[in-house]
Structure 1
Amino acid sequence: MFRHILAFQHVSRRTVASTARRQVDNKVPQNQKRFQEDNGVPVYLKGGTSDALLYRTTMALTVMGVGYVVYELVKAAFPQKK
């Protein structure tokens, strides 16, 4: 049992401290070019479909939240008679 724990520690330490890393392309210049071009699209929608979906979901939840708050305020302002 102890031998298995030592082997696991050795493998986990070796994978964490490994110097061989996966090469990742630097996409920052491409993203800067895309987000800085003047094409009339707001910056919060330049990310594509996922940004548009996230924006619309956020706006829908905000409108629903404001509507619920107004409903509760009206309900509290005019209490029901018993």
Structure 2
Amino acid sequence: MCADCARFQALQQVAHRTISSSARRQVGNKVPQKQKLFQEDNGIPVHLKGGSSDALLYRATMALTALGAGYVVYELVKASFPQKKD
């Protein structure tokens, strides 16, 4: 066996050992809690039930939509009136 092959095999073993022997983090299942939160009838729209981050994302989306629609209207009006050539 060549020296490079031996080094490569040793590196493979070390890498495999490092990956396979690492401690695994136990992650709890949060789905039932989220289902209970989102199915609760409390008068809040479903797109805002996630809390303040959902409200912030909703407002940012609406602002970008309004700005985009305004820009489209501006470009359409600008395109409908051709520029005069001097």
TM-score, normalising length from structure 1?
0.79
The reply to whether residue 27 of structure 1 matches residue 30 of structure 2 is: yes
Encode CA deviations 1:32-73: one digit per residue, 9 max, x unaligned: 100000111111111111111111111111111110000000
How many pairs are equivalent? 81
Query: How is 1:55-66 mapped onto 2 (pairs within 5 angstroms)?
Result: 55-66=58-69
Structure 2 unpaired stretches of 5+: none
C-alpha change, 1:36 and 1:13, in structure 2 (3 Å) is: same
Decide which structure has the larger Cα Rg and report it: 2
Q: For the residues of structure 1 that align with 2:55 and 2:15, how far apart are their CA atoms?
A: 41
Q: For the residues of structure 2 that align with 1:56 and 1:9, how far apart are their CA atoms?
A: 50
Identity %: 74
Instruction: Output the amino acid matched with 2:51.
Output: G
The reply to whether residue 67 of structure 1 matches residue 78 of structure 2 is: no
C-alpha change, 1:11 and 1:38, in structure 2 (3 Å) is: farther
Instruction: Output the amino acid matched with 1:24.
Output: V
Runs of 4+ residues over 4 Å off in structure 1: 5-8
Question: What SS does the aligned partner of 2:50 have?
Answer: coil
Question: What SS does the aligned partner of 1:72 have?
Answer: helix
Q: For the residues of structure 2 that align with 1:81 and 1:59, how far apart are their CA atoms?
A: 36
